[in-house]
């Protein structure tokens, strides 16, 4: 009987440890998502600035035949 009781206690501990590991993994995953989205937004802003500096403002919507 003492072995069965020990197995039950160990089983609860394993379930608790699994939840802790999953929570930590989720936090790392969520942190990486936030970090990459900030980097992607920064990269997007740089691209927008580069395209605004290289193209004149009037020639973006005008057809080439009317120039």
Q: pLDDT for 10-21, tens place per residue?
A: 566 788 999 999
What is the rounded CA–CA span in Å between residue 62 and residue 43? Answer: 27
Which pLDDT tens digit goes with each residue over 34-66?
A: 999 999 999 999 999 998 888 765 555 555 655
The pLDDT, as a whole number, for residue 28 is: 98
Tokens (6 digits) for 26: 């989720």
How many angstroms separate the Cα of 10 from the Cα of each of 3, 4, 7, 32?
10, 10, 5, 33
Determine if residue 5 is left, alpha or beta; phi over 0 gives left, psi from -120 to 50 gives alpha, anything else beta.
alpha
């Amino acid at each position: 009987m003492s072995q069965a009781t020990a197995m039950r206690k160990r089983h609860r501990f394993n379930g608790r440890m699994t939840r802790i590991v999953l929570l930590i993994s989720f936090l790392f995953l969520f942190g990486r998502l936030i970090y990459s989205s900030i980097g992607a937004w920064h990269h997007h802003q740089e691209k927008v600035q580069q395209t605004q500096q290289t193209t004149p403002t009037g020639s973006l919507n005008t057809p080439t035949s009317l120039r």
